[in-house]
Structure 1
Amino acid sequence: MPVQDTAHRLRFGVNYTPTHGWFHHWLDFDLDAVRADLDSIAALGLDHIRVFPLWPLFQPNRTLIRPRAVDQLVRLADAAAERGLDISVDGLQGHLSSFDFLPAWTQTWHRRNIFTDPEVLAGQEEYLRTLAAALADRPAFLGMTLGNEINQFSDGPHPDPDRITAKQATAWLERMLAACERGAPGLPHLHAAYDAAWYRDGHPFTPAHAARLGAMTAVHSWVFNGTAQRHGPAGTATEQHAAYLIELSKAWALDPHRPVWLQEVGAPAPHVPDDHAVRFTEATVRNSLDCHGLWGITWWCSHDVSRSLADFPELEYGLGLLGNDRTVKPVGRALAALAAEWRGRPHRPPVRRTALVVDAGDAEAAPRRSVCAPGGPVFEAWAELAAQGARPTLVLAQHASDQRHLTARGITEVCTPEEVGSVSD
């Protein structure tokens, strides 16, 4: 069937980083401080937040999920709803801003693989079900994400990975998504990976996992992955990196109408200098809005990390839309203006009719997916097409001659990376 002409309400939100204590605020939970943070977010005209419980604090023992911690999460959700903010919750934190947060019952003397150990799996399953169930009756609850980029624990460059196969990753994802569904039936639960899933050969979490499991595809776009280093802060590849990942996800999706959530994107200095951050923000958002099927954009992050906290990578301190004192920064004003511009407007970008072929090998395992990474032939050809003014999408080599697949996506022209020089849209 041909691509549908559909329109929906675009979502604009932010990943919530508390001003007091960062994510350690769960240790000293202060609802008044949270409310003040949420007031400053709501004042930007955003409509949702993504929230991060710290797994070791919520489940310090495999058979203890702290009721008080769960209640604090619910109170945060209610405070958000009072300010017109919907809430998405990540469960297994997991990994945040270069720090790992794993419970003691998975480490050192209790070292167990977090993706395969039967007891760990049962504990995770019950934890995710419990959080989902606690929020299930809240109308502002959008659903669960299993964890923040938890795929980084499965492979290098993590210094102590829990090695698994792609088949074991499938089993873990399916089991944890099912736990969320039991807790909050019918809501759009999903999982999220950092870009090794799209770019790193042999990584056990694959593009097929990202684009086929869960209610929608989550994309995390960070240009410090070699994109900005190679193309500069104003390069087409840099300003369209998020759009590229959105379109790349469609190459593996089985449903041509599967929604894609740009769940994390930010302007990391010095790769994006401060004096270029507003331009980068506006370009990234507008380029992403030119992608069919975009569910919404959730910026990283709400508030800057306090300089009183030690040992963060330098770029992590200044990623907020607002300062740690809740003052609005230029990037915050830029995103607020874009959200206001699109409020109430239907999102119906033109179909992308030119598709670049992705030959990453077997579609399930994608053993040569590094062709899609910065510097790879697919990535660089897509960037060249975009710089020429084209609006390319991507298609797997397995589908490049499948007329039914191409028609369903509205694709009328297919080219390989080698042919890019003669193609225009």
Structure 2
Amino acid sequence: MPPAVRFGVNYTPSEGWFHHWLDFDLDSVRADLDSIAALGLDHVRVFPLWPYFQPNRALIRPRAVEQLVALADAAAERGLDVNVDGLQGHLSSFDFLPAWTRTWHRRNLFTDPEVIDGQAAYLRTLAAALADRPNFIGMTVGNEVNQFSAGPHPDPDRATPEQIDTWLERMLAACEEGAPGRLHLHAEYDATWYQHDMPFTPAQAARYGGVTAVHSWVFNGTAQRHGRASVPSEHHAAYLVELSKAWADDPHRPVWLQEVGAPAPLVPAEHAAAFTEATVTNALDCPGLWGITWWCSHDVSRGLADFPELEYSLGLLTNDRRPKDIARVLADAARRTHPTPAPRTTALVVPADPEGRTALAPDGTVYDAFFRLTADGARPTTVLDTRAADTDHLRARGITETVTAEQVLTPQHRWSTPHA
């Protein structure tokens, strides 16, 4: 029997946001974790801010590492497992990069040998500090670090896909050296799947690390074009889960919906619970789903300035730790037993060439065809054009028919192409 789907939350401290590491208050953290555990969730994803933990390339602050371990132990006391993101990196519109990589010390995050050595030492140190904790899931290399590698970032650290291959291998190896045998992974925002010049590629996302992570946000054009209650909006997370499978070498590689949220005003507060329920229900219809980790636990305090407006209201709980309707939806899902979804037997053919990623993006041909099939009840998955005739691959994934976007989007053409 496959393992049960995990339900968790990205932990945003109610007091001080992620700046709480500067004035760490374990009692406040415990109260936050109590409010999370009361929802019946089983894990949290936590975010040490990189420049606070490693302010100099040769200094990883022991006290900061001790505080991270204390947080993990407090989570364990409440039955919560912990995943730790290392390189923060980017959070909620703010960049957090140490001074030894910027301005007068400007060095490329992905290609400079000294920076890479510093990053590896940092990830290895955090992993090693938690390696003996039974509730430690593993490391995520960083939060959406691909946003530093290309536009629209105003000052990107340019790299080639081959250089990113080397960087990912080094970072994941450092995590494994620190905590052997744990579930270590990396995670990017959806430009990896949608932006043709992004050096972080779908193949890297689906092949490096122990699980594929996807981050689903409908403010990427989906909700703007189609509305909050549309098939594309309510199935966007499921789309990314199934899209990622096209590049996986392991036909049964698990996928972690590691970030998903209900962003206002595109999803107004009074409709957030319905959006959450639809998103979770549709994601649970994806075979091989490792877990769903909602963004985020607690609202950002209105006492903090300069956040985009939507960031203040994304929490499952208010800033004073009261659960919202969306918290109740996720709690109900976490407490239920979910049947194993049937295989998705219809596969939409997608281009293996990373230059073809615009077809996968909102209102690209693959994107439109996927949701046309979904609206027709087909429960589609995806397959690379280079594997569409590989009968062994199709059989291993339970695929019995393939279809191209052009076939789906041509009104007079019935889209099914059977395979033995």
TM-score, normalised to structure 2, is 0.97
Post-superposition CA distance 1:228-256 (Å, at most 9, x none)? 11110000000000000000000000001
For the pair 1:359 / 2:360, whether they are aligned, the reply is no
Post-superposition CA distance 1:6-25 (Å, at most 9, x none)? 42121000000000000000
SS at match of 1:233: coil
From 114, 118, 129, give the equivalent of 1:119: 114
**Counterpart of 1:348?**
340
SS at match of 2:383: strand
For the pair 1:384 / 2:372, whether they are aligned, the reply is yes
Post-superposition CA distance 1:362-411 (Å, at most 9, x none)? xxxx1111100001000001011111122000111111111111111100
Distance 1:388 1:319 in 2: 32
Gaps of 5+ in 1: 1-5
From 383, 394, 399, give the equivalent of 1:411: 399
TM-score, normalised to structure 1, is 0.96
**Counterpart of 2:130?**
135
Distance 1:360 1:237 in 2: 22
From 348, 366, 372, give the equivalent of 2:360: 372
Distance 2:238 2:396 in 1: 20
For residue 131 of structure 1, report the CA deviation from its aligned partner.
0.1
**Counterpart of 1:3?**
none
Gaps of 5+ in 2: none
Please identify, of 27-36 and 385-394, the stretch whose mean Cα deviation from structure 2 is larger.
385-394
**Counterpart of 1:23?**
18
**Counterpart of 2:383?**
395
**Counterpart of 2:156?**
161
Post-superposition CA distance 1:129-162 (Å, at most 9, x none)? 0000000000000000000000100000000000
For the pair 1:194 / 2:189, whether they are aligned, the reply is yes
Amino acid at match of 1:325: D
Distance 1:58 1:208 in 2: 31
Distance 2:201 2:415 in 1: 29
SS at match of 2:259: strand
For residue 423 of structure 1, report the CA deviation from its aligned partner.
3.5
**Counterpart of 1:71?**
66
CA RMSD of aligned residues (A): 1.0
**Counterpart of 1:170?**
165
Give the conservation status (yes or no) of the 8 Å contact 1:223–1:241: yes
For residue 271 of structure 1, report the CA deviation from its aligned partner.
1.2
Give the conservation status (yes or no) of the 8 Å contact 2:50–2:87: yes
Amino acid at match of 2:361: A
From 21, 25, 47, give the equivalent of 2:42: 47
For residue 340 of structure 1, report the CA deviation from its aligned partner.
1.1
For residue 273 of structure 1, report the CA deviation from its aligned partner.
1.4
SS at match of 1:251: coil
Give the conservation status (yes or no) of the 8 Å contact 1:360–1:371: no
**Counterpart of 1:264?**
259
SS at match of 1:49: strand
Distance 2:118 2:345 in 1: 46
**Counterpart of 2:246?**
251
* Count of equivalent residues: 413
Amino acid at match of 2:215: H
SS at match of 2:163: helix
Give the conservation status (yes or no) of the 8 Å contact 2:352–2:386: no
Percent identical: 72
For residue 360 of structure 1, report the CA deviation from its aligned partner.
4.5
For the pair 1:323 / 2:318, whether they are aligned, the reply is yes
Amino acid at match of 1:79: A
Distance 1:55 1:359 in 2: 36
Distance 1:376 1:360 in 2: 15
Give the conservation status (yes or no) of the 8 Å contact 2:192–2:200: yes
